[in-house]
Structure 1
Amino acid sequence: MDQRALVRAVAPALALLLLVSSAGCTGGGAGVEGEPGAAGLRDPYFRKLGNGGYDVEHYDLTLDYEPRTGRLTGSAEITARATQDLSAFNLDLHGLTVDGVQVEGREAAANRAGDELTVRPRRDLDKGETFRTVVRYSGVPRTVVDADRSKEGWLATEEGALAVGEPTGSMSWFPGNHHPSDKATYDIAVTVPKPLKAVSNGELESERADGGRTSFVWTSKEPMASYLATLAIGPYDVKSTRTASGLPVVNAVDPELADDSKALLGRVPEVVKWGTENFGPYPFSAAGAIVVPDGDVGYALETQTRPVFPQGQFDLPTLVHEIAHQWYGDSVSPASWRDMWLNEGFATYAEWLWAEDFDDMPAQESFDEAFADEANWEFPPAAPPSAADISSAPVYGRGAMVLHKIRQAVGDDVFREILRGWPAEHRYGNASTADFTEYVEEKSGEDLSEVWDVWLYGDERPDTP
């Protein structure tokens, strides 16, 4: 064989070898180089919150807390799937010191800029690839002050700590993709000094004492938005029971509040059962409540499976409200923070339905009271003017009025179908206001433009209800 024939014979093999070698060097499919994921999802109110380029599937958090010093030591193992070819990606983390980052078992470069932690793996990640990131971190967590001046995140208490995350506070105690549109399952292991307890979301997998410390492992089997993750550390009185259907119920209460809270905590199964009858199957593998002193937190919050209540707000209407959120807000979560009225409007309307069923107060009376309240007319519920307004009165009261107007337009039977069908349609997912209006019109067969124009988006209060 002459030299020209030899070249023609081996050229295809050489080309294939070069292609394979090139792909191996970049880590990308067919030699495609990745690009950095977006630093922020451009939420209407929190532009930098969340990150692009990947979708988190699971968080495995291992935490150790020392209340005496306030120091938290943590490791976050984050399993995610790349949604593009990635050369770098961001995690949201407020305060704390990053002690090291690994991606797929190899040390990765990491840089901090404010609440953004940028991670650059040793090799690019392919679109569709599932990868594991481990962040080791430590320090004294910082409390987050919201635009409305309320406090969230990691709240130090007299004997421990309380973590609540709406809307951005969860980044103060673990790194992640902290936008509600990226939901994941969780394992949370927490070690604290005896005799303190650590209570979190979902089910208690194990409790193990070792010397002067105790480790608690909690698991959330259904997807959860990070703002709904909670952790309560303190000398809690923890009681575990089951509903008649077998659903685990775990309640934790500050021991000084135990006697006063006992009767209402005992009604959790009753409220869950009522919710199931009205809103469809309960969406999670556990239920319960956490009751804390008023000084620990200034508001109740629908943390998934285990809402948090300050003593002064632990009453029956608020219990109904927060348990209703397990369907509306927790199972079906907002696509963006502009869609908060879908959380709060439904939960407020649940209070009206409870009063209708048990207090001989028709929902129309609740509507009339809300209509007369000037605070509900400061802005349209689907268009809060700023981040400081996403938990203001119109999001709750006028949001519930929108639902009542739907009920009047479509009739009770169809409305009940919507109450059950909406959380079923988006179970464990996210949905927007546009998704909801389209769903209601499709299910009812009605053109509800007037409801949307006047009650959902309108700037002016009508002359009559």
Structure 2
Amino acid sequence: MRAVIAAAAAVATLALTAPAHGTPSHPAPGSDGVGDPLFPTLGNGGYDVRHYDLSFDFTPVTYDFAATMRIRARATQDLSSFNLDVDSLAIDRITVNGAPATWEIGPGKTGQELTVTPARPLRERRSFDVEVAYHGNGRTKPIGQPGWRYMSDGGFASAAQASRADTFAPVNDHPSDKATWTFHLTAPKGWTPAANGNLTGRRGAPGAKETWDFSLKSPMAPELMGISVNKQSYLYGRGPHGVKLRHLVPEDQREKYRPIVEETGGQLAWLEKTLGVRYPFDTYGVQIVRDGYGDALENQTLSLFGPGWFERPTYSTTMVHELTHQWFGDSVTPATWQDAWMNEGPAVYYAAVWADQKGFQRIEEKMKAAYEKLDAVRKTDGPPGKPTGLGGFNIYDGAAVSLYALRQQIGQDQFDAVMKAWLTKHRHGNATTQDFIDNAVKVTGDASVRTFLNHWLFDLDNPPMPGHPDWGVTP
């Protein structure tokens, strides 16, 4: 009788643990990188994040924070363990599907690897929930590059591109894994948090604090996370067809920046007409910080600007550059960082079109200068479609020159159709350089466009510029 009971128990246990479809389970660790051509250890394999929910309690001036990241993901293999990207975060506890999990933190090439081992293996194609409680200090020197930008008022803004979201929260830090987000940012009363997406509510919190809730319903790569807590104020408006505009400026400089942020609606309308595609999200805004940041960054739905840009008479060109990224890079996101020219090339190109129409600089003048410089850059930093690193001239102006060449080759109407089809087909998704080339060939119906783009994106020498036989290269 004991033998029969034991056998029945064994069968019942097998039924509970056997994977779906009756196939045997062979759980294995998820990889500690996605194999990106430029950064092989960025991101992690074995799962796909569907939603991030970040609760972040920040103390200004001291920069202490306590946080909880809740992740809903789907396993893409049978997992015995999986990794998240972190950098200088102190982990307090982790649960997977509500059960305590074990973890360890090891070194990574851009930060640290958090390896999580759930109490039970995770099945392929099954959703699972992870909760990571942690704390830290924003002034801690990270293993990799910093993602924090410090304001003189004791607040901060995040500038997470390309792999610095892990200095704020555990994430799968690669653009190929996009997810929806919710944020719950807590700060002392009198301080104003901001985040991607829409502000959905405010509520009291212990210790004379408030929690501000935000929701981003369109998928976003972690590197586009834009959170902040500062002495800042919201300014509101409406864009084309009712797009909600909300901007953030230093609270004592509202009237200085109000006329500038109010230009955004016109810039949106211009880009929608130029691209032939509606703005891909339901809200947008610019965040102008007091100090502590000197660049400009296309955080999704909330572009970040240092104040120095607005001391230049051509500041609107930079605003259009970052706004263009909401289509190219934020909505249509590269599958790998080697495809980053698809972000920066269109942003530079359409900002140049804007600058030309505003009388700042003729586009032919800008493209000629870039063309002459690009030939040498191809040999040192790689061609636009195969860069050896990020942030170079090749993926910015060099990629814009390549797009200009395509327009010269196929004509304005065909060029506009190629770009419109690209944005429409890959809206809120990921795509590759090969996808871009395939799209151009399909839209034009011209197989020679494939060879043309291959030369412009991958050759180590500049191809001749259509329509400008006199253009040469800088010796």
The TM-score normalised by the length of structure 2 is 0.88
Contact 2:101–2:117 under 8 Å retained in 1: yes
Contact 1:102–1:135 under 8 Å retained in 2: yes
**Percentage of pairs with the same residue:** 32
- CA 1:23 to 1:48, structure 2 compared with 1: closer, same or farther past 3 Å? farther
Greater mean alpha carbon deviation, residues 171-180 or residues 405-414: 405-414
Identify the match of residue 383 of structure 2 among 380, 400, 412: 380
Aligned to 2:257: 261
Contact 1:92–1:177 under 8 Å retained in 2: yes
Matched, 1:21 2:19: no
Matched, 1:175 2:170: yes
Deviation at 1:248, TM superposition (A): 0.9
Once residues 213 and 235 of structure 2 are traced to their aligned partners in structure 1, the CA distance between those partners, rounded to angstroms, is 16
How many matched pairs? 447
Helix, strand or coil at the partner of 2:149: strand
Task: For residues 307-329 of structure 1, give each alpha carbon's deviation from its aligned partner in whole angstroms, at most 9, with x where no partner exists.
Answer: 00001124100000000000000
Once residues 16 and 363 of structure 1 are traced to their aligned partners in structure 2, the CA distance between those partners, rounded to angstroms, is 77
Aligned to 1:42: 35
Once residues 251 and 137 of structure 2 are traced to their aligned partners in structure 1, the CA distance between those partners, rounded to angstroms, is 26
Deviation at 1:269, TM superposition (A): 0.9
Matched, 1:401 2:396: no
Aligned positions of 1:295-306 closer than 5 A: 295-306=291-302
Deviation at 1:131, TM superposition (A): 0.8
Aligned to 2:128: 131
Aligned to 1:3: none
- CA 1:156 to 1:243, structure 2 compared with 1: closer, same or farther past 3 Å? same
- AA aligned to 2:429 is G
Once residues 363 and 7 of structure 2 are traced to their aligned partners in structure 1, the CA distance between those partners, rounded to angstroms, is 74
Helix, strand or coil at the partner of 2:171: coil
Q: Which runs of 5+ in 2 are unaligned?
A: 465-469
Task: For residues 192-231 of structure 1, give each alpha carbon's deviation from its aligned partner in whole angstroms, at most 9, with x where no partner exists.
Answer: 1121100110100012244621211111010000000111
Contact 1:26–1:124 under 8 Å retained in 2: no
Identify the match of residue 311 of structure 1 among 307, 310, 324: 307
- AA aligned to 2:149 is L
Matched, 1:457 2:458: yes
Contact 2:237–2:262 under 8 Å retained in 1: no
Q: Which runs of 5+ in 1 are unaligned?
A: 1-9
Deviation at 1:427, TM superposition (A): 0.7
The TM-score normalised by the length of structure 1 is 0.90
Deviation at 1:396, TM superposition (A): 0.7
Identify the match of residue 69 of structure 1 among 43, 62, 74: 62
Matched, 1:439 2:436: no
Deviation at 1:162, TM superposition (A): 1.1
Helix, strand or coil at the partner of 2:297: coil
- CA 1:244 to 1:277, structure 2 compared with 1: closer, same or farther past 3 Å? closer
Deviation at 1:244, TM superposition (A): 4.5
Matched, 1:120 2:117: yes
- AA aligned to 1:135 is V
Contact 1:23–1:32 under 8 Å retained in 2: no
Supply the RMSD in Å over aligned alpha carbons. Answer: 2.4
Contact 2:200–2:215 under 8 Å retained in 1: yes
- AA aligned to 1:383 is K
- CA 1:340 to 1:81, structure 2 compared with 1: closer, same or farther past 3 Å? same
Contact 1:59–1:76 under 8 Å retained in 2: yes
Aligned to 2:101: 108
Deviation at 1:165, TM superposition (A): 0.8
- CA 1:348 to 1:143, structure 2 compared with 1: closer, same or farther past 3 Å? farther
Aligned to 1:5: none
Matched, 1:207 2:202: yes
Task: For residues 129-161 of structure 1, give each alpha carbon's deviation from its aligned partner in whole angstroms, at most 9, with x where no partner exists.
Answer: 111100000011345587xxxx64122322211
Deviation at 1:416, TM superposition (A): 0.8
Task: For residues 38-96 of structure 1, give each alpha carbon's deviation from its aligned partner in whole angstroms, at most 9, with x where no partner exists.
Answer: 11112122221111111000001001001232111000000001111111111001111
- AA aligned to 2:148 is W
Once residues 354 and 85 of structure 2 are traced to their aligned partners in structure 1, the CA distance between those partners, rounded to angstroms, is 39
Contact 1:380–1:457 under 8 Å retained in 2: yes
Contact 2:160–2:223 under 8 Å retained in 1: yes
Deviation at 1:24, TM superposition (A): 2.2
Aligned to 1:289: 286
- CA 1:370 to 1:304, structure 2 compared with 1: closer, same or farther past 3 Å? same
Once residues 289 and 360 of structure 1 are traced to their aligned partners in structure 2, the CA distance between those partners, rounded to angstroms, is 22
Task: For residues 272-311 of structure 1, give each alpha carbon's deviation from its aligned partner in whole angstroms, at most 9, with x where no partner exists.
Answer: 1112222201111110010013x41231100000100001
Contact 1:155–1:163 under 8 Å retained in 2: yes
Once residues 345 and 150 of structure 2 are traced to their aligned partners in structure 1, the CA distance between those partners, rounded to angstroms, is 31
Aligned to 2:155: 160
Identify the match of residue 220 of structure 2 among 221, 224, 227: 224
Once residues 143 and 276 of structure 1 are traced to their aligned partners in structure 2, the CA distance between those partners, rounded to angstroms, is 42
Helix, strand or coil at the partner of 1:381: coil
Greater mean alpha carbon deviation, residues 255-264 or residues 129-138: 255-264
Contact 1:181–1:334 under 8 Å retained in 2: yes
Contact 2:297–2:303 under 8 Å retained in 1: yes
- AA aligned to 1:321 is H
Contact 1:223–1:428 under 8 Å retained in 2: yes
